[in-house]
Amino acid sequence: MKKDFILAIFAFFIILGGFSLTHADTSSCNLQVSLVNQDPYPAVQGDTVKLLFQVSGVQSSNCNGAMFELNPGYAFSLTENNSVQTLSGSTFTQNSNNNWVIPYTLNVNPNAPDGDSQVQVFYSAGNALNFPASALSQTFNVTVQNSRTSFEIFVSNYDTKTKTITFQILNTGKVDVKAVAIQIPEQKTLQVKGANTNIVGDIDSNSYTTADFLGTPSNGNITLQVSYSDLSGIRRTIEQNVTYDSVYFTNVPSQSGSSGTTIIIVLIIIAVIGYFFYRNRKKKKRLLAERRNRIK
């Protein structure tokens, strides 16, 4: 009985000593975490982004190291299996500013939302066996730029003689796009003759270009597929409907053509009147000459 009591006291002091040591290590590590750099800023969907975290408060010689983990969340993923970083001992002799610097390279989800997306970090002093359950946590914003764009497309002309339909494509997005291609899938409202794809090239933001196709359109919606390469080189395709109304493209004689026809008609009338005037005058002169001859 006495032996069991002594063992219980001994175990109590061991646990108390361990707790005191852990408490001393934690109190000597006043951890502060900050995100000091994002490259590039903003990050681009489908590309990579480099994040640089800084952990201060580990410079004391009494600090028995620290642990750090990054949870990238939905918008990002780790390029390597390096989410957990461990610091053994203090940073007092490791660098001049006595801070622990932790770099990460993340893949940006091609479907990441435009604007700020959050990443979460866990950090703890020492080398806890139950990390990150016992760790502190903090969230940071990483700015992402939407590399997608949008288009406004119109039928700008249809020549009934050459059967050429012209589409005008306006880039209404905030980003420039490259290698834009317009494709017309098989449909009843536009019977295409020849190639159904037209590569129109690069279109800057708020700029436009045109694409011509040979075919016979019908009134209604024409479906177009627009493919382009975004800022990170990802190929994207969107489908868009364009309304065609033949009323706006009926061939009407131009104003200049009407004016030319009118001038020609007026000149013909003047010529006819001039001819009859000249003939009548010549006839009068001939009759006058005959009378004079008779008088003589």
DSSP class of 194:
S
CATH topology of domain 151-249: Immunoglobulin-like (2.60.40)
pLDDT tens per residue across span 130-188: 787 778 999 999 999 888 899 999 999 999 999 999 999 999 998 999 999 999 999 99
Rounded to whole angstroms, how far apart are CA atoms 82 and 201? Answer: 41
| Residue 123 near residue 31 (C-beta atoms within 8 A) | yes
State the CB neighbour count (10 A cutoff) for residue 98: 15
* CATH T-level topology, domain 29-145: Immunoglobulin-like (2.60.40)
Q: How far apart are the first and last CA of the chain?
A: 182
Same CATH fold assignment for domains 29-145 and 151-249: yes
- Cα–Cα distance list, 143 to 21, 41, 69, 285 (Å): 41, 7, 20, 100
Long-range contact set of residues 193-202: C-beta below 8 Å, sequence gap at least 24: 193/163, 200/169, 202/176, 202/177, 202/178
User: Whole-prediction pTM value?
Assistant: 0.60
Per-residue pLDDT tens digits for 206-219: 999 999 999 999 99
Number of Cβ within a 10 Å radius of residue 124: 22
Closest listed residue to residue 38, CA positions, set 119, 110, 114, 130 = 119
Provide the 10 A C-beta neighbour count for residue 13.
9
Give backbone dihedrals phi and psi of 4, rounded to 5 degrees, phi first. Answer: -65, -35
In the DSSP assignment, the letter for residue 45 is: T
pLDDT digits (tens, 9 = 90+) for 216-237: 999 999 999 999 998 888 899 9
The larger pLDDT score, comparing residue 37 to residue 59, is at 37
Rounded mean pLDDT of 252-272?
68
pLDDT the model gives residue 63: 81
User: Taking the domains of the chain in order of start, what are their residue ranges?
Assistant: 29-145, 151-249
